[in-house]
Amino acid sequence: MKEFDAIPAFRMLGNLYFVGSYQQSSHIIDTGDGLIMIDVGGEENLPYVLAGFERLGFSLADVKYLLLSHWHWDHADGVPALRKLTDAKVLIGEPDAAWLKFPVDGVLRDGDKITLGNTTVTCLLTPGHTEGSLSFFFDVKDGEQTLRCGMFGGAGHRQLSKAFLDKYGIPYFMREEFFASIERLEKEHVDVLVGNHSWHNRTREGREILLQGGPNPFIDPAAWGIFLAALRKKMWKLIADESREQFLVLAHRGASEYCPGNTMLAFYAGVYMGAPGIETDVRRTKDGVLVLFHDATLEKAMGQPGSISDYTLEELKGFPMEKNGLRDRIPTLDEFLAAFGDMDLSFAIELKDADIETDVAEAIRRYGLEKKAVVTSFHLEYLQKMHTLAPELKLGYLARAGKITEEVLAQLKASGIDTLCPRVPDILPENTKDWHGHGFRVRAWGVTNEEDMRQVYDNGADGTTVNFPDKLLAYIQEQNAKNEEK
Ligand SMILES: [Zn+2]
């Protein structure tokens, strides 16, 4: 078991007590008619909590309610062991109950109140950190004063990083929820900021000040607002840092500036240039095979009349494509995924034809690319269909310039589409900030020259398709070097 740094249990003010460690917090409210406990921490924290009960002279048998701020292990995993020692009712925010490894006695909804003895705890649903994060508010009497205590139960922003969200398949829109929760909490008056972790309100330092007989440092009506504002700032910094450090360069139809687009040659060229991702387009042949091809007609690329659906795969394979003296033939989606699927790459797969959703989803699943691929389209209805039949897939909506309204964003969110693909002219700092605030990933398209490329990178997008990944990668490297010099 991990060794934690103990913070000896102490009375913060009135009938509110801290028990636990530096790493994991638990609080006790002595209501005069039993105890309300908020969080327990993980199993590793339990010895510290038990020592705290003993030190304060409380009995676990008197705990009537254990309120969990959210389901994460460092707040809740001590519950099964604790239950052997108490009959307390364990309650958690409704959406978080499903994530726990153990059953609870009930769920809490926004605005629910728990009353015991002289105390009523108001629970607000403040999602973001988790879907069901709860914040708790209650009055404490300290001498003659009645002071309002507040705890933001979902105050961690690191769990909203791209890596974390992707790993656990958590919707990107939790970021929007997080910002909304902060905004909502800022409207609450709080005299005493109760930490969901000890560093939120400097529990240890505060205890020292109390021991030395100083004025109670936890009573500070300004602390709540300062804490929330700092948290919002940290979240924005995380978003900005990620968009620089993890900017996704997608070789557009491969390195199509140099090779015939959507050929194995172009894809290999993109990968050799160092592009961490490939973008391609899917259509269906006359004989039902999914192939990679962009244009609605064959004229420009193959010099043939008609379109992909007019020919069989065998016929299409007979029409070579050429650029800069380089020749290659049309690949199937399957050939492409067989060659690149197990490489450490991201994929953007655009649906160019109707009614290919089922087969594209099947191919992505067959190659295990659910986490590495984003299915994109200009057609909202293709994406909606895709979301219905393969809800685990990530989806991106390709928007025409100037067409992204609040209404469109709401529609995308309702359809489970969390990647927004705006065209270059729309990639402006105020827009990317707005879209990020709504919880979208912003992946640009339509980069045609180096100026476009710089605009997209400089204005805060998370990635882009580009025909010349080599140039964009060089530019990013140059910018990083400049930043390091600073
Ligand atoms: Zn947590």
Task: Summarize pLDDT for 109-149 with one digit per residue, the tens.
Answer: 999 999 999 999 999 999 999 999 999 999 999 889 999 99
The pLDDT assigned to 436 comes to 97
Neighbours of 1 (CB within 10 A): 9
- Ligand 1 center to 4 CA (angstroms): 17
- Ligand 1 center to 383 CA (angstroms): 32
The pLDDT assigned to 12 comes to 97
Q: Which CATH class is domain 10-242?
A: alpha beta
Torsion angle in degrees (nearest 10) through CA of 387, 392, 396, 397 = 10
> Quick check: 68 and 91 in contact, CB under 8 A?
yes
The pLDDT assigned to 1 comes to 63
- Ligand 1 center to 345 CA (angstroms): 30
- SS3 call for 388: helix
- Ligand 1 center to 214 CA (angstroms): 32
- Ligand 1 center to 403 CA (angstroms): 37
The pLDDT assigned to 168 comes to 87
- Ligand 1 center to 129 CA (angstroms): 6
- Ligand 1 center to 41 CA (angstroms): 10
> Quick check: 66 and 90 in contact, CB under 8 A?
yes
Task: Please give the model's pTM, rounded to 2 decimal places.
Answer: 0.92
- Ligand 1 center to 128 CA (angstroms): 10
The pLDDT assigned to 240 comes to 95
As residues whose CB is below 5 A from the ion ligand 1, the structure lists 72, 156
Q: CB within 8 A of 231, min separation 6: which ones? A: 152, 155, 157, 182
Classify domain 247-485 at the CATH topology level.
TIM Barrel (3.20.20)
Where do the structural domains in the chain lie, given as residue ranges?
A: 10-242, 247-485
- Ligand 1 center to 400 CA (angstroms): 39
- Ligand 1 center to 156 CA (angstroms): 6
- Give dist(CA 33, CA 59) in Å, integer: 13
Q: Which residues of the chain have pLDDT under 50?
A: none
- Ligand 1 center to 23 CA (angstroms): 12
- Ligand 1 center to 184 CA (angstroms): 19
- Ligand 1 center to 473 CA (angstroms): 36
